[in-house]
Amino acid sequence: MLQFLDSLADFLFPPLCHICHAFIPDAGKLHICPECLGEIQFISEPACEICGTPFFGAGDSHICGRCLTDRPFFDLARAAAVYGGGVRQMIHAFKYDRKTHLRRPLALLTISATAGFISEEKPEIILPVPLHVERLRQRGFNQAVLLGELISREFRIPMERRTLLRLRRTMPQVALSVAERMENVKNAFGLSKKAKIEGRKVLLVDDVFTTGSTVDECSRILKKSGVARVCVLTVARAING
């Protein structure tokens, strides 16, 4: 019956690749054609043992220079793919053109690329990086919440939407330098009075890790409040960004 419904759905809505929009006869769950999938640069080891910067096959995993000199507040950050090409295109359409259905392929890519990391780390709660209420009103959704819901469902880790809060509005990070980004997000986050996170292992979820200043500032607040461990999971990671 389910198979019949699947074929009926394919007949009514022929499966198109989320990236190049070509028809894919055997689309599977992901709906990304083999060519587009082949072009996605998945991130694997060797990588920085803390921030996850990929070393693209050179040597063993170790702690990168940046983390050695300026150790982040988070314990570990991992991303599924490099921010570029089809992944960047999907994230843009998802966030800025309100193509919220794209959360599914983006979450599926993240889930399949980072399942090992999740089973090793065993985080206890998922916290999505919050948006300021005004930005949320403008956009209509928080991309980190939409992704976090699917990740939460897959790994059976509860997500708390109102534990980590955005206290003030910040400028979009896109046009800012590394130093400006850090200044921009400083003291932008806080915790709900009801938060019970002391001694817990947190998985912080966002769409893109650029310089890491947003997730690092969230991690600083979480660690200050007694969180035992903060792991960061994003769909994509900017390289040299």
Closer to Zn ion by Cβ: residue 33 or 79: 33
Task: Kindly state whether residue 87 participates in binding Zn ion, applying the rule CB under 5 A.
Answer: no
Cβ closest to Zn ion, residue 17 vs residue 81: 17
Instruction: Kindly state the tokens that stand for 201.
Output: 């292992």
47's CB contacts (< 8 A; 6+ apart) are 53, 54, 55, 61
Smallest separation, CB 178 to Zn ion (Å): 14
Cβ closest to Zn ion, residue 33 vs residue 222: 33
- Are 164 and 222 in contact by the 8 Å Cβ rule? The answer is yes
Q: Where are the alpha helices (DSSP H) in 59-212?
A: 65-69, 85-96, 103-121, 133-139, 143-155, 178-185
Nearer to Zn ion, 32 or 203 (CB): 32
Nearest to 164 by CA among 118, 99, 74, 225: 225
Determine, following the binding rule CB under 5 A, whether residue 176 of this chain makes contact with Zn ion.
no
The verdict on 64 binding Zn ion (CB under 5 A) reads: yes
User: Smallest gap, in angstroms, from Cβ of residue 197 to Zn ion?
Assistant: 25
- For Zn ion, the binding residue among 33, 82, 109, 126 (CB under 5 A) is 33
- With CB under 5 A as the contact rule, the residue among 43, 47, 50, 102 that binds Zn ion is 50
Chain residues 4-23 in contact with Zn ion, contact rule CB under 5 A: 17, 19-20
Cα 221 to the chain's mean position, in Å?
Answer: 19
Contact 164, 193 (CB under 8 A): no
Q: Which residues bind Zn ion (CB under 5 A)?
A: 17, 19-20, 33, 36, 48, 50-51, 64, 67
